[in-house]
Amino acid sequence: MSKDLNDPGAVLTGAKQTMASWSNVIESYETVPTIYKNIFETQFPNNQQFPYTLLTPSLVKPGYKTNEKLVCDANDAIHILERNRNQVTVKNYPYQKVYMVEAGSILLCSWLTISGILSTGMADISTIDFNTANTRHFETFFNKLRPTPQSIVGTKSKAEKDKFDYLSTLNFKLMNFGRSSLVCGETVIQILLQHEIRQPIWAMLGSIFLQTIAPAHLTILTSHELILIQDIAHGRKVQEPQYGGIWQYIPLHSIKAATWSETGNGWLTFSVKLTSNKMIEKLFAVSSKPELDQLCAKLQQMT
């Protein structure tokens, strides 16, 4: 028989193991875990409205284990309290100073990575790992990290999403990812698809084994941000299914420069330099030169 979930020596059923990986909404000062109470009450005094707060448990990932975190939404910043054994560290990211947001999902493993300037003035990066089943709990943070530019009628929103329809025969998955990545009020300026880039690594008995150099990805320039969406790479077997993706959202005011260069082995590298001097690069086929020229020119005009 299974023991209690809070017993460290408990033998857990599969269902309870799954529940132990779920994020929990904390709704009152009384239910804030003891280890966080002192710091939490310093950040959010009891005479204020209780903030939207999530407790994300420690998760076992390939090769490492994540730390438990208490994530709180203030009016102007996201507060991340991270537990490492008996110590708690605090990082506060003002929403206006976040220069990139990354969201990823692979099967039941999801994450949110925030890159920005802390309230202390230092640049930093924090990753919050969570079970994909709890994605809805993070909508409050996503809505603050990617604010809606303005309210528009449904027909205009549909027209922007319809700009991805041509991708239906090229990459149906990335088409849907692109459509769903838009926030209400954004105008799509340019879309650039790159199919998966693979090259042979060796051959045996008439079979050619391929290595993925770059997964399929989609670059979207809108009136407010640059969106980079990457598929999950295939294994060596082409028929192997792929689940999930990685989304990067970069506000245009965070982009310092955008260029492309030849790699020397037949590919092009599209490089985006952020105001933090962080560099993001994507690999493209040589045939994408005209589109990359357009994209870099538009980014130069808009940033």
Reported in sequence order, the residue ranges of 224-276 that DSSP labels E, i.e. its strands, are 225-231, 245-251, 255-262, 267-274
pLDDT value, residue 10: 52
pLDDT value, residue 16: 60
Count of C-beta atoms within a 10 Å radius of residue 124: 14
CB environment 76-106: b (16+ within 10 A), e (fewer):
ebbbbbbbeeeebebbbbebeebbbbbbbbe
CATH 2.30.29.30 intervals, the chain:
14-145, 154-302
Reported in sequence order, the residue ranges of 21-175 that DSSP labels E, i.e. its strands, are 24-26, 52-56, 60-61, 64-65, 69-73, 77-84, 87-94, 98-106, 109-117, 123-131
Fold observed for domain 154-302:
PH-domain like (2.30.29)
Average pLDDT over residues 231-255: 77
Q: What percentage of the chain has pLDDT greater than the value 90?
A: 70
pLDDT value, residue 151: 60
In angstroms, what is the C-alpha Rg of the chain?
22
More confident residue, 3 or 118: 118
**pTM of the predicted structure, to 2 decimals:** 0.87
Q: Per-residue pLDDT tens for 77-124?
A: 999 999 999 999 999 999 999 999 999 999 889 999 999 999 999 999
One of 3.30.1300.10, 3.10.450.50, 2.30.29.30, 3.40.50.1820 is the CATH number of 14-145, namely 2.30.29.30
More confident residue, 75 or 101: 101
Contact 278, 98 (CB under 8 A): no
pLDDT band at 238 (very low <50, low <70, confident <90, very high): very low
With CA atoms as reference, report the closest residue to 94 among 71, 112, 117, 113.
Answer: 117
Q: Per-residue pLDDT tens for 7-18?
A: 545 554 545 655
CA distances from 120 to 82, 116, 208, 297 (A): 17, 11, 54, 35
Q: How far apart are CA 54 and CA 49, in angstroms?
A: 15
pLDDT band at 247 (very low <50, low <70, confident <90, very high): very high
Q: Is 173 helix (H, G, I), strand (E, B) or coil?
A: helix
pLDDT value, residue 270: 97
pLDDT band at 3 (very low <50, low <70, confident <90, very high): very low
Residue in this structure with the two tokens 């955008």, named with its chain if needed: 258
Q: How far apart are CA 55 and CA 82, in angstroms?
A: 10
pLDDT value, residue 236: 46
More confident residue, 230 or 75: 230
Q: Per-residue pLDDT tens for 130-174?
A: 999 999 999 999 999 997 766 665 667 889 999 999 999 999 999
pLDDT value, residue 107: 86
Distance of CA 169 to the CA centre of its chain: 26
pLDDT value, residue 278: 92
CA distances from 80 to 57, 178, 181, 207 (A): 13, 29, 25, 50
Cα dihedral: 230, 224, 157, 195 (round 10): -20
Q: Per-residue pLDDT tens for 178-218?
A: 999 999 889 999 999 999 987 766 666 666 666 778 899 99
Average pLDDT, the chain: 87
pLDDT value, residue 5: 47
